[in-house]
Amino acid sequence: MDRKLFLEKILNEFENWWTHDPHSSNINFYQNTITASRLASLSNKEFIDFFYGFVSEGGRVQSGGDRTKNKFRNTVQNNIDRFRKYVLKPFRDNFSLKDWFLQLEEYPGFGVGIATIFLNRINHRKYPIMNNKTLKGLSRLGYRISSSKNWTNYKLVKQYQDDLLNDFPTLQNYYKADALNHFLVAVYQGQELISDYLQIDNFENELEQHEIECGAEIDETNKEELYKKLIECENSKSEKITINGKVYKRHNYLMALIKKYRDHKCQFCSTTILKANGAYYIEACHIKPKAEGGKDSFDNILILCPNCHKLFDYGERSNEKKRNATYSITINEKKYKASLK
């Protein structure tokens, strides 16, 4: 499915959900309480109480504040003058977002998630939110982003949300753009949309890989030649490749080559699956997931049967090692080995 159509479909359903969900009525919840003059007018006790409440209820955006609220109270009680000054900085003209962000670790209990919600509550057209849901949601939409809440990713979050806001003006601001991430990660309807899309996408990739295998005359008996081709493909910068006058995704060409190189055989259990049309079915699995920055590269791909693939995705993993071009891992207390050569 075309990515743009997919996004349009998601945005339509999101818009329906948004109008009925508390997220939309909470958008201006702190409008009168998070202002420079009002915060400055609070006594130290009132100041601590206000932020304790804000952390406990996750700024009415995220949950989990119950776990951090006491840690937070200890932090500010011993440090109230410093915290007051720090947390009022974003209202000043010479505010440096980067410096502020990097100083966050000095305030345990006031982590990146709640701190960026606070910024967003000051100005939802200026500051995006970054919590676990943001990062998961964006990677489900196909953006390349790892799961760490660092400064580099904050800049990426802003860039990606800007792209979305540009393409879909109905999103209006970073608060609503973040509610979209919540919709995709935590709301059943959104999760279903993503999973349907991924299944369609997988199916289309599978068809394309089959077409490449049939059309590209890849000689599977000549392993050396295959290996040369796949390293060449891996190093290519282009996203597309033309075979016999038809354009394919480079990713699919690479996966077709790797599947041939591995004889369409599961690297964990040696299963092969012959389809009625004479082709083989097998899956490609990223050792380091794409969402965490893992690459489409020969040494990051395992060829697995559907069973072993799900075992790898959902089982309890330990002892993961890569040594002498051999990958080994223990899943649910059983050891597996696969060659990366």
Residues at the contact surface with Zn ion, assessed by CB under 5 A: 266, 268-269, 271, 305, 308
Q: How far is the CB of 72 from Zn ion (least distance, A)?
A: 47
Helix (H, G, I), strand (E, B) or coil at 187: coil
Which helix (H) or strand (E) is 248 found in, with range? strand 246-249
Q: How far is the CB of 311 from Zn ion (least distance, A)?
A: 8
Strands 301-304 and 283-286: antiparallel
Q: How far is the CB of 265 from Zn ion (least distance, A)?
A: 9
Between 101 and 336, name the residue whose CB sits nearer to Zn ion.
336
Q: Hey, what are 25's tokens?
A: 């009525």
Percent helix, percent strand, percent coil in the chain, to nearest 5? 60, 10, 30
Q: How far from 162 is each of 4, 12, 102, 166, 276, CA to CA, in Å?
A: 16, 19, 22, 6, 47
Q: φ and ψ at 175, to 5 degrees?
A: -65, -50
Q: How far is the CB of 219 from Zn ion (least distance, A)?
A: 26
The Cα 230–Cα 117 span in angstroms is 45
Amino acid at 3: R
Between 322 and 334, name the residue whose CB sits nearer to Zn ion.
334
Between 35 and 307, name the residue whose CB sits nearer to Zn ion.
307
Between 177 and 308, name the residue whose CB sits nearer to Zn ion.
308
State the residue for tokens 């190093």.
235
Between 150 and 307, name the residue whose CB sits nearer to Zn ion.
307
Q: How far is the CB of 20 from Zn ion (least distance, A)?
A: 44
